[in-house]
Amino acid sequence: MVKILDSFAYWLKGFIKKPFKVGLITPQYAGVEASNKGVAIHVYYLTRELAKLGCEVHVFCMGQKKSIKKFYIGNGKLVVHQISENMAEEIRDKVAKKKILRFAFDNEIVKEVLKENKEREFDIIHSHITFIGGLISRYINNIKWVHTIHSLEKHRLLFLTEQQKRYLELENWIESAVSYADAVITVSKKLKEDILKNYKIKKDRVFTIPNGVDLSLFNEKDVKDRTRRIIYVGRFSKEKGIDVAIRIAEIVLKKDTKLKFTIIAPPDYGELADALIKSTEKLGILEKKYSGRLEWIKEPLTRDELARMYKDSKILIQPSRYESFGMTVLEAMACGDAVISSNRGGLPEVVDKAGILVNLNIKAFVREILRFLKNNRLREKYGKKGVERAKNFDWEKVARQTLDVYRILSKREENTKEEEIAVGEAMKKIGEI
């Protein structure tokens, strides 16, 4: 009954004025399966908040099987178009399979967007990670195209495996498609600078809108006595500084016999370089040496499980070599962890004065960790600063800023007062049914 009323209410509002229609393209979407990948989380919250603002949002994403699911959220509607990811099962090379899956996904996306656009035209196409589907949809359907850049492949070159580097020219060619976007969104000012340096895009077409954090999940609620624990959360990659984190763990565990260290980094053995295979071996040895004190979590955690880990820890370290934003840093800050991070990429914009920023130097990290462990008041001071800082990164604010970009491009206006009154009156009548 509730779904029928929601559907009818939405139809009635649309009858008075058509809602803003957004087609959002992303291979990764946390609404399909549990994921701690930054892009999957970003798109999940962005789409829900856009729906709350009254938009009709269509998400085109990868999933186990093809399906379409509809949700009525706030004043809007969210439709998830799941496209099967089993299009390259016979390919064993994981890196090659990933590339082919993306091409196959883009091909399917073009067809799905075309089909949905015939039902009612999109006001905006907005893509993440993958470029080609958005680019082709823009030209075939004559729709304004927005692309959000979450990282720059050119800057990740030094941290890729030899297998990944084989596809670098292909990645650079694909990434160059961003030059044709009607607008580009970057998640940090530093990333905006990098984009403008590397691609011929007019400055007034590039907007910076950061990631947000779910403060209903990542907060200080239910925090009691924190374990004397340091936590690292990130991909098992050189880019994220996993090898640095392991070395830091080895030193501080030796210096502080009461300390616990948790590394949450699921390894992808299909994409590990030789140096990182050695890191997995090193971490395995240290786990045995510091049994009960060093924990390596190899399986992805749910968002709830991750929040509990933050709340049970005192310090988070982020020794990234390349980081366009730093979502785990923001989540940890929201939970009251004291943060020590490298000063690379967009991390200074996230941390600001609410944490410790250091050069990517093992001794510097160890020094600051020991300083926090010896001075609990100092650690709590930075924990409180982090909580306050995190309040600036609200998903509703992110969605409103994104919708502003859409409206600039589409030149669609807000509802008139008369239309708002008509909608309000109609909604009152529905409430009386």
pLDDT on residue 248: 98
C-alpha 126/C-alpha 421 separation (Å) is 31
Task: Specify the fold of 229-390.
Answer: Rossmann fold (3.40.50)
Question: What does the domain layout of the chain look like in residue ranges?
Answer: 18-212+394-414, 229-390
> Strands 260-264 and 229-233, how do they pair?
parallel
| DSSP structural state of residue 302 | P
Residues 117-131 have a mean pLDDT of 94
Which CATH architecture is the domain 18-212+394-414 placed in?
3-Layer(aba) Sandwich (3.40)
Asked if pLDDT for residue 108 goes beyond 50, the answer is yes
User: pLDDT exceeding 90 applies to what percent of the chain?
Assistant: 64
pLDDT on residue 381: 98
SS3 45: helix
Q: Is-contact 285 249, C-beta < 8 A?
A: no
pLDDT on residue 429: 46
From first CA to last CA, the distance across the chain in angstroms is 11
Asked if pLDDT for residue 431 goes beyond 80, the answer is no
Neighbours of 370 (CB within 10 A): 15
Neighbours of 291 (CB within 10 A): 9
Q: How far is CA 361 from the centre of its chain?
A: 26
Asked if pLDDT for residue 66 goes beyond 60, the answer is yes
C-alpha 309/C-alpha 350 separation (Å) is 20
Extract the tokens encoding 411: 């030149």
Residues 283-307 have a mean pLDDT of 94
Domain 229-390 in the same topology as domain 18-212+394-414: yes
pLDDT on residue 274: 63
Q: Is-contact 290 253, C-beta < 8 A?
A: yes
